[in-house]
Amino acid sequence: MLPAGFGLPPLPYLLALAAGTVAAIGALYVRRPPVTAATVTALAPWMAAGGALYALYQAGAVPDPAAPLFGSPAVYVTVGILAGFVWALLAERPGESWRPTEASTILAAVGCSLLTVALIAAAVTRTSNAVGARALLSGAILLVSLVGGTLIWITLRRVTDVSATGTVGAVVVFGHTLDGVSTAVGYGMLGFGEQTPLSRLVIEAGGALPVPELLGGAWLFVLVKTVLGAAIVVLFEEYVREEPTEGCLLLGLIAAVGLGPGFHNVVLFAIS
């Protein structure tokens, strides 16, 4: 049931990741940085950076000595450790808003810097005009996902109360919309396979249903992902309202499951 390409790095790297994880969690526990909707939302560029770095790894653009740290799932642990230490360093700063000096803004800025470096490396990796055309397609996927996610979020805000989830809820909706749309385009237009067995079953089920060929075989996967993202936000509303720290963190993890793989897809399409 594990995704294709999923595997643990060699033992020395695995031990280093384990030690780094313990150290990062320890730093967060001791420093107790602010856990708010804003600071958890600030982790979004870190999630996207993890997906982009994994795409670079698959394209063979990561130097060999560091490559085991950027496979799956190691890359998300690597990025998580870095984010954890940066977050811990910002413990003395408030994180309720997006003022330039607050923890949320600085955490997001550092994550955006890492994402920018990954995207520059991806741009350098491109080697042909055909790949450049795919980069435009990746941009279109991001735009469609942003518009679609925004419309879903606006609809949720109008038909039910999801105000407690705030910007974290919006990231969940966008992340899962991006994952659904990018998977559908990769599967239906670019000839990419689906790495996750459960997702592949959903796509195959959609392809077997009597629907217009224009929708493509992955239409059901897009529907499932978008509905799932919206439903999770609705279900988490009361939990986040009663336990904002735990609720925001769990929503952040759910957002990462969509945003990381989704951004991985668009970067991989552009460079492979």
pLDDT digits (tens, 9 = 90+) for 241-270: 999 999 999 999 999 999 999 999 999 998
Contacts (Cβ under 8 Å, ≥6 apart) of 144 = 181
Question: Is residue 80 domain-shared with residue 208, that is, in the same domain?
Answer: no
Question: Amino acid identity, residue 241?
Answer: R
Give me the domain span that covers residue 109. Answer: 1-125
Task: Say if residues 241 and 248 touch (Cβ distance below 8 Å).
Answer: no
**Tally of domains within the chain:** 2
Task: Say if residues 178 and 145 touch (Cβ distance below 8 Å).
Answer: yes
pLDDT tens, position by position, for the chain (272 residues)?
445 556 789 999 999 999 999 999 999 999 999 999 999 999 999 999 999 999 999 988 999 999 999 998 999 999 999 999 999 999 999 999 999 999 999 999 999 999 999 999 988 876 555 556 778 899 999 999 999 999 999 999 999 999 999 999 999 999 999 999 999 888 877 767 666 667 777 777 766 666 656 556 677 888 999 999 999 999 999 999 999 999 999 999 999 999 999 999 999 998 87
- Of 125, 146, 181, which residue constitutes the final position of a domain? 125
Question: Is residue 139 domain-shared with residue 112, that is, in the same domain?
Answer: no
Residue 252: per-residue pLDDT: 96
Closest to 194 in 3D by CA, of 259, 271, 119, 268: 268
Task: Say if residues 89 and 56 touch (Cβ distance below 8 Å).
Answer: no
Question: Is residue 236 domain-shared with residue 158, that is, in the same domain?
Answer: yes
Residue 89: per-residue pLDDT: 97
- Of 125, 156, 177, which residue constitutes the final position of a domain? 125
In the block, residue with structure tokens 């470096």 = 117
Question: Is residue 152 domain-shared with residue 250, that is, in the same domain?
Answer: yes
Question: Is residue 99 domain-shared with residue 40, that is, in the same domain?
Answer: yes
Burial of 204 (C-beta count, 10 Å sphere; 0-12/13-18/19+): middle
Question: Is residue 132 domain-shared with residue 223, that is, in the same domain?
Answer: yes
Task: Say if residues 251 and 40 touch (Cβ distance below 8 Å).
Answer: yes
Question: Is residue 56 domain-shared with residue 179, that is, in the same domain?
Answer: no
What digits encode the pLDDT tens for the residues 44-57? 999 999 999 999 99
Residue 201: per-residue pLDDT: 79
- Of 108, 125, 142, which residue constitutes the final position of a domain? 125
Question: Is residue 95 domain-shared with residue 144, that is, in the same domain?
Answer: no
